[in-house]
Homo-oligomer: A and B are copies of this chain.
Amino acid sequence: MRLIECVPNLSEGRDLGVIDRITQVVSQTKGIKLLHRTSDYDHNRSVLTFTGQANALREAVLIMYEEVANLIDMRDHQGEHPRIGAVDVCPFVPLGATKMTECRDLAEEVASIVGPKHALPVYLYEEAALHEERRRLENVRRGQYEGLERKLENAAWHPDFGPGEFNPRLGATIIGARKILIAYNVNLRSQDLGVAKKIAAAIRESSGGLRNVKALGINMAHLDKVQVSMNLTDYQATPIHRVFELIRAEAARYGVEVAESELIGLAPADAFLSAAAHYLHLEDFSEQRTLEYLIHASG
């Protein structure tokens, strides 16, 4: 069975009734297993995680776009997390032996349907990108929803699918194929957004920090804290514990402590097993030393 994971990020994190209804149509699709859902008030954003084979996923995602078109209106949307549209990002991730090409094909097929159907500008990103400058999510999202109308006037940002006209209700959507990504946030015992922004700049790849780390400083007014909000795009090369310890060291420079960290959505177990191995100085340890792994392993 060739499983694919789909992790859409939706621009609604406060009206949970809306997210309930969207989640319901997805999880009722035949062949779909909903693994997780999470909503954040300050981000005003929700993330669903579900798996299935390509055909089932295509059906579920098409129904999801339809529900979102009925229920989310970007003209009312405010939130701390950058976003360009109602279904802000919709990545497909190969699991197990599934090939990336299968996810790329699925992304392109979904894009070719939802663009015309919902009069929705669609950009393809990461492994599904058709243009090199659209590979990185942050490039596509730059300017956000508020800058989208002007962005669309630039020929370089004509969408890959769908119309070139601004859709005020839905904004744009970014569909793609990528490797497993860990969405991981560290909250700081501070209300100084400047500190969070400086730490984010210090640790992210784009400004001289760690490879495979994207980071933003974000105000979590709801918690009276600030946050370093991250995507870790290769947790094996750049493990979570190294990111966490670097944030701790940078924060100490400002007399700020780490309050807590959080995983958004799901992550592979070995991302955290390797953190345990680091802190406990464990030798010769891996996922393959856990009972669950061996019991589920074939053979």
Residue in chain B with minimal CB distance to A296: B296
Residues on A facing B (Cβ under 8 Å): 3, 5, 33, 35-36, 51, 95, 180, 240-241, 244, 258-263, 266-269, 272-273, 275-277, 279-285, 287, 289-296
Kindly state the separation between the CA atoms of A248 and B229 in the bound complex, as whole angstroms. Answer: 32
Residues of the B chain whose Cβ atoms lie less than 8 Å from the Cβ of A280: 240-241, 244, 261, 272, 275
Q: Which residues of B contact A263 (CB under 8 A)?
A: 282, 285, 289
Q: Which of the residues B258, B281, B291 comes within 8 Å of A259, measured between beta carbons?
A: B281
- Measured between beta carbons, the chain B residues less than 8 angstroms from A240 are 276, 280
- Interface of chain A, helix or strand or loop or mixed? mixed
Closest 6 CB pairs of A and B: A272-B276, A275-B276, A269-B290, A35-B294, A279-B279, A276-B276
The distance in angstroms between the C-alpha atoms of A95 and B290, with both chains bound, is 13
> Smallest Cβ distance from A191 to chain B, in angstroms?
18
Residues in B with CB closer than 8 Å to A289 are 36, 263, 266-267
Contact assessment for B290 and A272 in the assembled complex, using a CB-CB cutoff below 8 Å: yes
CB-nearest residue of chain B to A35: B294
CA distance A241 to B268 in the complex (A): 21
Tell me which of A283, A284, A289, A291 has the highest count of chain B C-beta atoms within 10 A of its own C-beta: A291
